[in-house]
A and B are shown apart, each in its own frame.
Chain A
């Protein structure tokens, strides 16, 4: 007995040490990447955020001056407003649409595969320059949308992209257009909900609406939450669409000057890299804080089975 115990302990111990060596070998590329490509640069950018640096001369320590400058940088504050509007309008719209269509498509309806493909395709193309260029045409002053509107009798429709009050919303619409990928995930989640719940509810006389709020929503809420967190983080980093639609300038009158676009201009057009690093850390703080708030709020609406 004791010999067996010892043997098994020996084997267990030995195995653990072999595992350590093997595990770190398997993890080697990832560890190098983590240190060199992720954590190292993060620390470097924290340092740079306290310096004045333009690539041409060595970084010069200036304390919190970059952060102080940010507080009074009108264009930066405006870019925050633009980005917050974009994130908090487009994310809920996109997810709500994804959920609505997923619920409609659920329950083995005819043509499901076709609809799913059609709705999914745009989300694979939405981040491309090609589609952003298309958007620039469609919502241009003489673009497709306005040609149709004129045909319908609206003599002078706004020049959607040229008009500062609407330009941002054309990009919001582009984001909503890519609702297909959360839809696919919602569809997958919906299929996990046992049919018997709905059957039981039907027997008890619950309407479709009641069933949606009392069965679908609670059981799907962890998936909705997961998507919400990731989509918000992603939306804060949006770049390509604003860059292309505004011709790289964030115009008209900075109405599509996304935070990441301004950061790019500061860092790579004006070579104000210390400032860009400070902006990047502010972004991390904002995204981190919002994610924390999301997690706190999730206690009130996300339902965990176990």
Chain B
């Protein structure tokens, strides 16, 4: 759906538990070790410096941003935030709420529709399964652009332009095949004995799915939630096409309009609101990393 090139690809969280092999600490040569750490620290600083510089610059008066390449903390002010918050047609909270609605809708859509499809692919035998499974895998790779124009025409006929429906409804229909695949892989790693025991106890497919598998799938569901959150929070192309009136702007569109209106002259306000827009992503990272590491740990990597 979105601009895949720079999307984080979630590490597959398969529940296969392997005994972690004993970590080998290469004590090795202390000089090599120090050099290695120095190189990694230098690389870390280069990676993170732009972010930290942006945060600090967002507290500087616009006319001094360009003169400060360092991180000195004198003369900081919050005026960029107060100005930026109300610089656009609506207060910035309006765009944050719009983005939140889109993101929550997409998360619910992905969780429900992808897990339903994944259960069928992973656990049920049915006519046409190999073909449909193959098609599902292929749709992961189809460029979004090929459906862009007709989808727009379709949603325009529904009068859905300038509503959030064109962004949310496709997720309700499991068009993010990537997550279907992720969940299929996850379910395949769960023991089938549980399903069989439940079936003998008289459970139907739906209760096996809701009562047995869904609770076990929490790590895969968490991965899906976090990545849907980040992808949709950052989504630009589909928002740009479907949301054309400022009332429906999501955060990325609001940020872009800083370029149109106040132009490049007000970097301070733009940086301040950019920082605001990145806070939820950062929180998702803090919160989501646990699942990431758990996923990595359960695949025997820790």
Binding site for B on A (CB under 8 A): 16, 19-20, 22-24, 26-30, 32-34, 36-38, 40-42, 44-45, 48, 55, 101, 104-105, 107-111, 113, 115, 117-131, 133-134, 136-138, 140, 142-144, 147-148, 151, 174-175, 177-178, 180-182, 184-185, 187-188, 191-192, 194-195, 198, 227, 229-231, 233-241, 243-244, 247-248, 260, 263-264, 267-268, 273, 276-277, 279-281, 283-284, 287, 291
Contacts and interface: CB of A to CB of B under 8 A. Distances in A.
B147 A30 contact: no
Nearest to B144: A237
B200 interface: no
Interface string B218-240: 00000000000011011011001
Given A127-B7, A138-B50, A237-B5, 15 more contacts: A22-B204, A29-B173, A34-B135, A42-B142, A121-B48, A122-B48, A124-B284, A128-B278, A130-B277, A133-B255, A133-B259, A134-B274, A144-B50, A233-B143, A248-B259
Output the residue of B150, B264, B277, B301 with the most chain A CB within 10 A: B150
A143 B229 CA distance: 31
A67 B218 CA distance: 48
Interface string B104-130: 000000001110110111001111010
Nearest to A226: B9
A191 B143 contact: no
B141 to A, nearest CB: 6
A55 to B, nearest CB: 7
B147 A175 contact: no
A143 B123 CA distance: 55
B173 A133 contact: no
A280 B237 contact: no
Contacts of B53: 144
Contacts of B146: 41-42, 45, 280-281, 283-284
A23 to B, nearest CB: 4
Contacts of B302: 191
A33 B173 contact: yes
Contacts of B204: 22
Contact of A42 (B47, B120, B127, B147): B147
Interface string B159-184: 00000000000101111000010000
Contacts of A108: 23-25
Q: Which 7 A-B pairs have the closest CB atoms?
A: A33-B173, A234-B4, A191-B301, A130-B274, A23-B126, A41-B150, A44-B150
Interface residues of B, number: 108
A27 B150 contact: no
B11 interface: yes
B98 interface: no
Given A134-B274, A195-B21, A118 B47 contact: yes
A26 B149 contact: no
B212 interface: no
A38 B234 contact: no
B228 to A, nearest CB: 13
Contacts of A283: 143, 145-146
B132 interface: yes
Given A118-B47, A121-B285, A134 B124 contact: no
24 contacts: A23-B125, A28-B116, A30-B174, A33-B173, A34-B173, A38-B175, A41-B147, A41-B154, A104-B39, A109-B26, A111-B40, A128-B233, A128-B278, A129-B234, A129-B255, A142-B66, A144-B69, A147-B66, A182-B9, A188-B296, A192-B299, A243-B240, A244-B259, A277-B150
A185 B173 contact: no
B237 A239 contact: yes
B16 to A, nearest CB: 11
B236 A240 contact: yes
A121 B288 CA distance: 11
B258 A133 contact: yes
